[in-house]
Amino acid sequence: MSNSALFLVVLITAVIMVMGALILALLIAPKSTNPLKGEPYECGIPTRGLSWVQFKAGYYLIAILFLVFDVETVLLFPWATIFRSADVEGLMLVSFFLAVLALGLVYAWKKGALEWK
């Protein structure tokens, strides 16, 4: 059996599971409407305004750093698979690549991008 078809089967199973449970819950769970019930939870105090606001820029920085290093991980996987046939030469090339990345990490560190302020 092809793996892609089985992946689809698992995916559809997940969707069916969520759908089924939701429909079952909608059928057997009690319903009572009340405008106050739909208010966001905030310790009982009426909420002020929306929550879709600006948030700390530090999270953004983390996301950018993640992007850089995650792409690097993706690039390293094919090399790891053929590591034995690539031998020392491949290792030298990848060490160079890793050194550039480590430099990036050192740069971010020195610039204070890793500090949480």
Partner 1 sequence: MFHFKIVTDWIDEFLRTNLGEGWALLIEFILTGFAILALYAVLALILIWAERKVCAFFQCRLGPTRVGPWGLLQSVADMVKILLKEIIHLNHADLRLFRLASFLVIIASLCTFGAIPFDRGLHAVDFNMGVFYLLAISSLGVVGILLAGWSSNSKYTMIGAMRSGAQLISYELSCGLSLLTVVILSGTMQLSQIVEQQADGWFIFKGGVPAIIAFVIYLIAGHAETNRGPFDMPEAESELTAGYHTEYSGIQFGFFYLAEYMNMFIIAAIAATMFLGGWMPLHTPWEGVNTLMDYIPPVIWFFGKTFFCVFLALWVRWSFPRLRIDQLLKLEWKILMPISLLNILFMALWVLYL
The site for partner 1 (CB under 8 A) is made up of 1, 3, 5-7, 9-18, 21-22, 24-26, 28-33, 35, 37-42, 47, 50-53, 55-56, 58-59, 62-63, 65-66, 69-70, 73, 76-77, 80-84, 87-88, 91, 94-95, 98, 101-102, 105, 109, 114-116
- Contact 39/46 with Cβ under 8 angstroms? yes
Q: How far is the CB of 108 from partner 1 (least distance, A)?
A: 8
Q: How many CB atoms lie within 10 A of CB 76?
A: 15
Q: Is the dihedral of CA 32, 36, 42, 45 positive or negative?
A: negative
Q: How far is the CB of 48 from partner 1 (least distance, A)?
A: 10
d(CA 79, CA 57): 35
